[in-house]
């Protein structure tokens, strides 16, 4: 998808400080807490592979799905360099297809916030339900409404020897959408390549997410303030949800 083409070149730089192994530690703690079994996992919106590689390292049968071919090219290169057998598929999370059902589906790091209509959320939940075994687990996160709505109309610049990034952010309270207008200059030899992209995320209230989980055949096991077992509260920045597929 065009909006991720430029981002793919800088994505790993932007998330270089994120402890993705720690994210999977947290997922495994959630699985243990609810006595859920998982040896196969599909990671939606896997990007450059950061959120699915830790699963493969730990012996899971892992598949990564993303809409961006550019992101997946980088993910495949990473996995190959680590001798990890991960199946990467260029698909839309709203309509993805797999040859067999799995025990765990994940979606992290704002992946679901990129869906700008609640019907898209519902379609994604339906697809996840179709591809999970009975009593399989669905674990995902969403940015909190209040955190996105606190965004001011500011301009930020990062200037590095091989890249310059400029982004402007704003929040549309009527639509509950957060927009980033990103301009980048990436150095390749003696030439700087320019790209311009617009990224939008939508904030969803927990009660709406929980309602759609139930409507699409899931039982909510828990919703948490990120990386803890505390319930979601008014100051939560990121919410984690743990749902289990009801038996067909």
Same domain, 191 and 218: no
Same domain, 49 and 152: no
Out of 53-57, 108-112, 151-155, 187-191, the most confident range is: 53-57
Domain of residue 104: give its range.
Answer: 2-143+204-245
Band (pLDDT 50/70/90 cuts) for residue 6 is: low
- For residues 71 and 151, the model is more confident at 71
Same domain, 37 and 93: yes
Token output for 138: 């669905």
Which pLDDT does position 150 carry in this prediction?
65
Q: How many domains, in total, are found in the chain? A: 2
Q: What's the CA gap between 98 and 228, in Å, rounded? A: 31
Out of 4-8, 10-14, 109-113, 215-219, the most confident range is: 215-219
Residue ranges of alpha helices (H) inside the chain are 5-14, 20-33, 53-57, 69-81, 118-131, 145-149, 206-215
Stretch 67-85: mean pLDDT: 95
DSSP state of 239: E
pLDDT at 156 over 50: yes
Same domain, 159 and 134: no
What confidence tens digit (pLDDT) does each residue in 22-41 have? Answer: 999 999 999 999 999 999 99
pLDDT at 137 over 50: yes
The rounded mean pLDDT for the chain is 90
pTM of this prediction?
0.90
Instruction: Report the share of the chain in percent with pLDDT over 70.
Output: 92
Which pLDDT does position 183 carry in this prediction?
85
Band (pLDDT 50/70/90 cuts) for residue 190 is: confident
- For residues 13 and 94, the model is more confident at 94
Which pLDDT does position 1 carry in this prediction?
42
How many CA atoms does the CB half-sphere of 173 hold within 13 Å?
A: 6
pLDDT at 5 over 60: no
pLDDT at 97 over 60: yes
Q: Which residue has the tokens 């990473």?
A: 78
Residue ranges of alpha helices (H) inside 106-242 are 118-131, 145-149, 206-215
pLDDT at 240 over 80: yes
Contact at 8 Å (CB) between 44 and 68? Answer: no
Same domain, 69 and 179: no
Same domain, 62 and 139: yes
Same domain, 64 and 31: yes
Which pLDDT does position 199 carry in this prediction?
82
pLDDT at 66 over 70: yes
What confidence tens digit (pLDDT) does each residue in 44-56 have? Answer: 999 999 999 999 9
Q: Which of 74, 81, 85, 17 is nearest to 47 (CA)?
A: 74
Which pLDDT does position 101 carry in this prediction?
98
Same domain, 85 and 71: yes
Stretch 212-227: mean pLDDT: 97
Same domain, 167 and 191: yes
Same domain, 212 and 239: yes
């Amino acid at each position: 998808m065009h909006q991720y083409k430029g981002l793919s070149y800088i994505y790993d730089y932007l998330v270089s400080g994120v402890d993705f192994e720690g994210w999977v530690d947290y997922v495994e703690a959630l699985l243990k807490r609810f006595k859920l079994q998982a040896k196969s996992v599909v990671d939606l919106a896997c990007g450059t592979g950061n959120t699915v590689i830790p699963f493969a390292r730990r012996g899971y049968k892992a598949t990564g799905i993303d809409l961006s071919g550019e992101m997946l090219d980088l993910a495949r290169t990473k996995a190959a360099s680590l001798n990890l057998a991960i199946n990467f598929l260029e698909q839309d999370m709203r309509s993805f297809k797999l040859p067999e059902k799995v025990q765990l589906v994940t979606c992290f790091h704002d992946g679901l916030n990129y869906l700008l209509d609640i019907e898209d959320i519902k379609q994604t939940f339906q697809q996840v339900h179709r591809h999970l075994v009975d009593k399989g687990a669905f674990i995902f996160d969403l940015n909190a409404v209040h955190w996105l709505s606190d965004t001011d109309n500011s301009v930020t610049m990062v200037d590095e020897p091989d890249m310059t990034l400029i982004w402007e952010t704003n929040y549309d309270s009527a639509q509950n959408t957060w927009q980033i207008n990103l301009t980048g200059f990436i150095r390749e030899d003696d030439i700087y390549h320019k790209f311009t992209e617009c990224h939008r995320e939508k904030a969803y209230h927990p009660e709406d997410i929980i309602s759609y989980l139930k409507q699409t055949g899931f039982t909510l096991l828990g919703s948490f303030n990120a990386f803890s077992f505390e319930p979601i509260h008014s100051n939560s920045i990121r919410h984690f949800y743990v749902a289990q597929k009801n038996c067909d």
